[in-house]
Chain A
Amino acid sequence: MKVAVCVKAVPDAASGRRIDPSTKRLDRSGELAISEWDTYAIEEALVLTEAAGDGEVVVVSLGPERAVDAVRKALAMGADRAVLVTDPAFEGADLLGTAKALAAALEREAPDLVLFGQQSADGGGACLWAAVADRLRRPIVSQVSELTVDGGTLTGKRQTEFGYDTLRLPLPAVVAVADSINTPRYPSLKGIMGAKKKPQETLAAADVGGLDESRTTVLALNPPPARGEARRIDDDGTAAEKIVEFLAERRLL
């Protein structure tokens, strides 16, 4: 079974995520690391191929050339190969552009299963997987907290606002995994040292069908609205009533 895992190299939390005032986009010039959400997907891919006894785990990413080092962590965890789609043209690519490029790279790989982490550590809440699934014309299930593969069928438990659904999908399929699905392993020392020897391929824009103009723009940065008047009460025995009044005012009851 061939599992492809889509990962994103994002600014490392330590270097401080900040927005570059000139481009109005996230400053990606610092250290990059694989988005924490993606490590759950990498772990799941490894768990599935280890359970099957054989298979290949390919990590696919869209990012700057520097992302090569960050993506290597996936190889250190146990993935077999990495494919990095990198091209200056892709800087600041939007959801659609990213989805198209990833889908093209994935088509080259023709995996049985494509895994995503559930969220992007820098974009917060992006749903790239659904766009990629549409481009690939394959079924999708997201927010998966439990996953099994039997022959050519995948069963997944999806967590929604209303509880858990159980879905069944034929492979090839696209799945976005929730962080409750597993505990990502630490790379072993041997894994870290062996990662450099594993194949890392780079693709340019031309290899994935080029890049259209972005369909969305960032126009301006503003400070957040003031929190509003903070109210303070010293309890004189009526604090509970006052709190209830406050909650009612804010329509929280």
Chain B
Amino acid sequence: MIVRPSDFPPPWSAGEAFRPPTDPADERIEVGFLVVGAGPAGLAAAIRLGQLLEEHPEQAERLGDVPVAVLEKGKAPGAHLVSGAVVNPRALQRLFRGRKRLDQLPFAGPVEAESVLFLTRKHAYRIPTPPTMVNDRNHIASLSRLGGWLAEEAESLGATVLPETVAESLLVEGGRVVGVRTGDRGRGRNGEALANFEPGSDLTARVTILAEGTQGHLTGAALERFGLQGENPQVWALGVKEVWRVPRPLRRVIHTMGWPLRARAKYREFGGSFIYPVGEDLVTIGMVVGLDYRDTALSVHDLLQELKTHPRIRRILEGGERVQWGAKTIPEGGFVALPRRFHAPGLLLAGDGVGLVNVPALKGIHYAIESGRLAAEAAWRTLARGTSARAALASYDESLRSSFIWRDLREVRNMRQAFGHGFYVGGALASAMTASKGRFPPGESRTERDAEQSLLHTRRADLYPAPDGRLTFDKLSSVFASGNRTRDDQPNHIRVQTRVPRELAELWAHMCPAQVYEVGEEDRDGTVEVHLAPSNCVQCGAITAKGGRLTPPEGGSGPEYTIT
């Protein structure tokens, strides 16, 4: 029987994310500009708006007491940010208009050297660094730390950052987005109001900028509802990473391909790993795999554990200690999966939420920052007399299309999809694309929804190492190492069908790095019950790509990353 996750859609509809304002007018909270998400895109927007306000103080009274508000669902800015990361400093320098020197930016250090390795189980072969991956003049950073730093900068420019605050739905009036409704707090497992129940509020603003990151909850709904989707569906990869304190500094940036992923086309295992030094005493190591994989036994977390047992890799971590763990999805569709429009009445969309990621170069942070900056400028234009709000917001699309983001993504537009043909063919195609700067092969490839990949099962899981608690770790202790201490007694925020074929349940159980899903009792018709432990969830978003839907739990829930 052929099982596809898409055959079992989650009990959720985009309509749930929209509502009219319901709070009485005097209880609504009015802000000037509203940003959802304190990640690099959102905070860049807040910073740019702050700069514009400094330059044009006469606009202050039109923006009210709170000219810029940034909502963040995590406990603090950075709590839900996880990435490699090697960052191109260009967008940050543009954002701060050259007024910050490189050494003032929160980077852990420049990339001094790099290598790309092709791994087999026992060996590592150095291969020439593909041109798209060359990282000279780039810097290593902890995205979580960068987020914290950007938030401070935004606040110093007058933004109000509101952590532990979920944007649960978009407020729409007369077809226009007028703000968001924040999530309730203090509900019990069955939705009942607890002693300290605090309802959400209607927050209104002249422009709402969604910078929710990958699998953005409102972003996804808006793309659907306002008909903004492009021709190709978005696809994602799941990254799971750890940060280690090590006795010997690593002096180069390493990317690997090959083992432990399988090269044959039928498995569709596209991805690799990264190992970066973060300052003198920390190393970050992560495994990234496209969610179009088909084997129900695949577990990216366990592949990461397996990766660490490779003799070449083990050496890097020897004598060290794991200090943090994190997981998150990355949009991988690239240029062909971008929305056809990035704005709607009252609304602008920026960052990973709309897929501004250059997969072959493994870069997305500087695009997020630049898109946030451009969104801020478009939002600001709504204040200009003689410009309609519609025209001002539409100018965002124009500025995106003439930016370096567009140019870069266009150049590498078919590479990721090439790997759908397997590693070796994909590799050859990718080289051809690079050499021709994207002109060859011609045309645009298409993406297929991750959830539409039919499932197969193998005994891949037999090869995962048993956790030893020193080099390799189980999922539950990893969830602990993410800082997750989500309140248990709250409603389940994950929408999935809970009676599904065994293969699908097993897919989810292996897929989820946080062990949220468990295969339960089998029924007479061969389906099984799926049990959930939602408070384990680190909100990576993988379930949304593979047949379910992640919605935001109570504000403040989830991981508390600090150095991922």
Is A in direct contact with B (CB under 8 Å) within the complex? Answer: yes
Tell me if A189 and B29 are in contact (CB < 8 A): yes
Produce 1/0 per residue, B182-220, CB < 8 A to A: 100110000000111010010100000000000000000
Partner of B196, one of A14, A31, A186, A190: A186
Interface residues of B in 516-564 (CB under 8 A from A): 560, 562
A185 at the interface (CB under 8 A from B): yes
CB distance from B376 to the nearest CB of A (A): 21
A96 at the interface (CB under 8 A from B): no
Interface residues of A in 133-184 (CB under 8 A from B): 182-184
Interface residues of A in 34-87 (CB under 8 A from B): none
Report Cα–Cα, A71/B71, bound state, in Å. Answer: 21
Tell me if A185 and B196 are in contact (CB < 8 A): yes
Report Cα–Cα, A186/B164, bound state, in Å. Answer: 10
| Range, interface on chain A | 10 to 19
Residue of B nearest to A192 (CB): B162
CB distance from A9 to the nearest CB of B (A): 15
Residues of B within 8 A of A89 (CB): none
Residues of A within 8 A of B498 (CB): none
Do A183 and B195 contact each other (CB < 8 Å), given the known contacts A13-B485, A190-B201, A192-B162? yes
CB distance from B32 to the nearest CB of A (A): 13
For B186, B201, B562, which residue has the most chain A Cβ atoms within 10 angstroms? B562
A29 at the interface (CB under 8 A from B): no
Residues of A within 8 A of B182 (CB): 189
Tell me if B198 and A14 are in contact (CB < 8 A): no
Partner of B76, one of A31, A182, A193: A31
Tell me if A193 and B162 are in contact (CB < 8 A): yes
For A15, A182, A185, A189, which residue has the most chain B Cβ atoms within 10 angstroms? A189
Interface residues of B in 84-127 (CB under 8 A from A): none
| Range, interface on chain B | 20 to 34
Partner of A186, one of B69, B160, B186: B186
A23 at the interface (CB under 8 A from B): no
CB distance from B326 to the nearest CB of A (A): 13
A214 at the interface (CB under 8 A from B): no
Partner of A190, one of B29, B75, B185: B29
For A184, A186, A188, A192, which residue has the most chain B Cβ atoms within 10 angstroms? A186
Tell me if A193 and B560 are in contact (CB < 8 A): no
CB distance from B39 to the nearest CB of A (A): 18
Interface residues of B in 18-55 (CB under 8 A from A): 29
- Contacts beyond the supplied A186-B198, A192-B162: 11 A-B pairs with Cβ under 8 Å: A14-B76, A14-B79, A15-B562, A185-B196, A185-B198, A186-B196, A188-B201, A189-B203, A190-B201, A193-B29, A193-B65
Which B residues are closer than 8 A to A by beta carbons? 29, 65-66, 69, 75-76, 79, 160, 162, 165, 182, 185-186, 194-196, 198, 201, 203, 483, 485, 560, 562
Q: What are 20 sample pairs from A and B whose C-beta atoms fall under 8 A apart?
A: A13-B485, A14-B75, A14-B76, A14-B79, A14-B560, A16-B562, A31-B76, A183-B195, A184-B196, A185-B196, A186-B186, A186-B196, A186-B198, A188-B198, A189-B162, A189-B182, A193-B65, A193-B66, A193-B69, A193-B160
